[in-house]
Amino acid sequence: DSGVTQTPKHLITATGQRVTLRCSPRSGDLSVYWYQQSLDQGLQFLIQYYNGEERAKGNILERFSAQQFPDLHSELNLSSLELGDSALYFCASSADRGMGETQYFGPGTRLLVL
Amino acid sequence: AQKITQTQPGMFVQEKEAVTLDCTYDTSDQSYGLFWYKQPSSGEMIFLIYQGSYDEQNATEGRYSLNFQKARKSANLVISASQLGDSAMYFCAMSRPWGVNTGNQFYFGTGTSLTVIP
């Protein structure tokens, strides 16, 4: 158990819908990262937050947005969902924001868009 | 553009033998980090080892070592004394700074599936 929790574990929805994925980092960790893992795209870094502020962006679509709240939990919002958004979405956390920080991954949320 | 290449889609190793998983990377940054992660069939991602671009010594963590050859831009993972529990997908990843005093971007390879044979 990494100490990072993600809810829900599984999510099935329809195209065009909007969903919210939630992540609680390990106690004391200030950085949260979101990743998408799909069969065709592999593992893609989406976004990093540190202590409530956006710090780095990767291949995050405009239809996707995220935020980190004062209690440090984070949410990833996916809207206007398409079939291609079906993937495993990981959240990870680290103590700080340095390049070499060990990231602890949550179990992931498996999203299926029908 | 940043890129991580793992050319071995699948590897087999006999239990108790050592195995090397290849990783090459492409970046024009001077400062970057290299990681290896393990993903068992259960799906979770497990951090194994980290090497900074300015680290002169190869990183080691227990049975894992990272063979860092900066000039060749390679960061191979060596697993010694393989165990059945090492059967998993292994990902090489690179981090690079994004902006000034902000965060870091991460890039992952396509992974190598390792099977340990009893």
Residues B27, B32, B33, B34, Cα dihedral to 10°? 10
Q: What is the mean pLDDT of each run of 10 residues along chain A (114 residues)?
A: 94 98 96 94 93 91 97 97 97 87 94 97
A-chain residue closest to B41, CA distance: A107
**What pLDDT, on the 0 to 100 scale, is given for residue A108?**
96
Residue A42 has which token pair? 């592999």
Q: What is the pLDDT of residue A1?
A: 84
| pLDDT in the model for residue B100 | 62
Partners of residue A105 in chain B, C-beta under 8 Å? 37, 44-47
Q: How far apart are the first and last CA of chain A?
A: 31
Tell me how far apart the alpha carbons of residues A1 and B38 are, in angstroms, rounded to a whole number. 14
pLDDT tens-place string over residues B42-100: 999 999 999 999 998 999 999 999 999 999 999 999 999 999 999 999 999 999 888 76
Cα separation, B99 vs B102, whole angstroms? 6
Dist. CA A113–CA A14, nearest whole Å: 5
Sequence-distant (6+) residues with CB within 8 A of B96 are A99, B2, B27, B29, B31, B32, B33, B104, B105, B107
Contact between residue B72 and residue B16 where contact means Cβ atoms under 8 Å apart: no
Residue to substitute from B38, B48, B104, interface A, most A β-carbons within 10 A: B104
Is there a contact between B116 and B82 (Cβ–Cβ < 8 Å)? Answer: yes
Residue in the block written with tokens 């070499």: A100
What Cα–Cα distance (Å) separates residue B5 from each residue in A37, A104, B21, B117?
17, 23, 11, 25
Q: Do A99 and B102 touch (CB under 8 A)?
A: no
In this prediction, residue A73 carries a pLDDT of: 97
